[in-house]
Amino acid sequence: MSIVRMNRRVIVPILVSLLLFCLYQILIWVKVVSPSDGIHQWQRNVIKLERYIYQNRGVDITLVGSSLIAKIDVANIGSNAINLGLSGGNSQTGLEIVKRKKKPPSKILVEISDTIQKSIDYKLVHNIYQPGWYWLRLYFPIFRQEYRPVSVLVNYLRNTSKNNRTLTDDEQDKREMTSDRLRKKIIQNYVNQYAKKITPEKRDKLISEAKHLKKQIAEFQKAGVRVILFNVPIDSELENTMMQREIRELLRSLFPPSTCEWLPEPPSEDWITYDGFHLIHSSAKKYALFLKDQIVKNGW
């Protein structure tokens, strides 16, 4: 009798959990449960990559890079474009993700900046493509990060709050920029930091990672994918520092225009950032429209 009771204590919770699991998955399939965009940086990166991997629609243009391009809304570029800019990441990691997808895009825009000194985040790549989990996530979205119950709940509370509404471009800019005094202080700190020459260690790291990135690019080109390099405008004062000038010259020598296709430089104007590097919403939108204009002009 005691064995039967023990079995009930084990089986009943398992059956209840299985029932709740099935119910939650059905609610996802019928779109009652809305996906979350993530509640922290790592999760937002994973959600972005999972959506790219598991989507059914074809992608014509893929942007890869770091947080410098993460805010670029590809809706301003075209319906067949996707942005894999990873906060805290780099172009190499994005290319590794794209390489393992069965059908590559016809064109890849690769951000070239000093963020390439970071190595590929293989832990993130393996997490995304781990065989067992890959197939589970493919057929059962409940296992994807965007449907984690806590994330979904946080997303729901945000969307149903009384103060939640679609912000105008100006309102989004004000939210991002905090106080002008603090913004100027942050930028000045970076200007001071980049006022000296590039260190030998940083130069060596950039050269080393550039070699690997060139191999990745060559693989895509061999497969018939058109690869276009670009860099994102930053604060003009920071751009004119000694180290930033040296970095640009080094990267141009490592990826010479004679052998690599580069996107034309954007118009020289006052691109506004909230910290010296990352464009505020209105400037990111302007840069996205510049990309669109170049794509149309060049017939990409």
Q: pLDDT tens across 40-51, in order? A: 899 999 999 999
Place of tokens 């699991």: 21
Q: How far apart are CA 106 and CA 206, in angstroms?
A: 27
pLDDT at 4: 55
Strand partners, 82: 62
- Rounded to the nearest integer, the mean pLDDT of the chain is 87
Angle, vertex CA 257, rays to CA 83 and CA 226, nearest 5: 40
pLDDT at 175: 61
Over range 270-275, report the average pLDDT.
87
Q: How far apart are CA 168 and CA 257, in angstroms?
A: 39
Over range 6-11, report the average pLDDT.
69
Q: How far apart are CA 98 and CA 277, in angstroms?
A: 25
- Give residue 84's pLDDT band: very low, low, confident or very high (50, 70, 90): very high
Q: Is the pTM of this model over 0.75?
A: yes
At residue 160, does pLDDT exceed 80? no
Among 143-147, 165-169, 243-247, which stretch is predicted with the lowest mean pLDDT?
A: 165-169
For residue 134 the two structure tokens come to 């890959």
At residue 248, does pLDDT exceed 90? yes
Domains of the chain: which residue ranges? 1-33, 41-298
What are the DSSP calls for the chain, one per residue? -HHHHHHHHHHHHHHHHHHHHHHHHHHHHTT-SPPP--SSHHHHHHHHHHHHHH--S--SEEEEESHHHHT--GGGT-TTEEEEE-TT--HHHHHHHHHHSSS--SEEEEE-SGGGGSPP-HHHHHHHH-HHHHHHHHH-GGGSGGG-HHHHHHHHHHHHSTT--PPPHHHHHHHHH--HHHHHHHHHHHHHHTSSPPPHHHHHHHHHHHHHHHHHHHHHHHTT-EEEEE-----HHHHTSHHHHHHHHHHHHHS-TTTS-BPPPPP-S---BSSSSSBPHHHHHHHHHHHHHHHHHHT-
What are the DSSP calls for 30-65, one per residue? TT-SPPP--SSHHHHHHHHHHHHHH--S--SEEEEE
Over range 11-16, report the average pLDDT.
82
**Domain 41-298 maps to which CATH number in 3.40.710.10, 3.30.1520.10, 1.10.287.3510, 3.40.50.1110?**
3.40.50.1110
Q: How far apart are CA 68 and CA 233, in angstroms?
A: 9
Over range 81-95, report the average pLDDT.
93
At residue 163, does pLDDT exceed 60? no
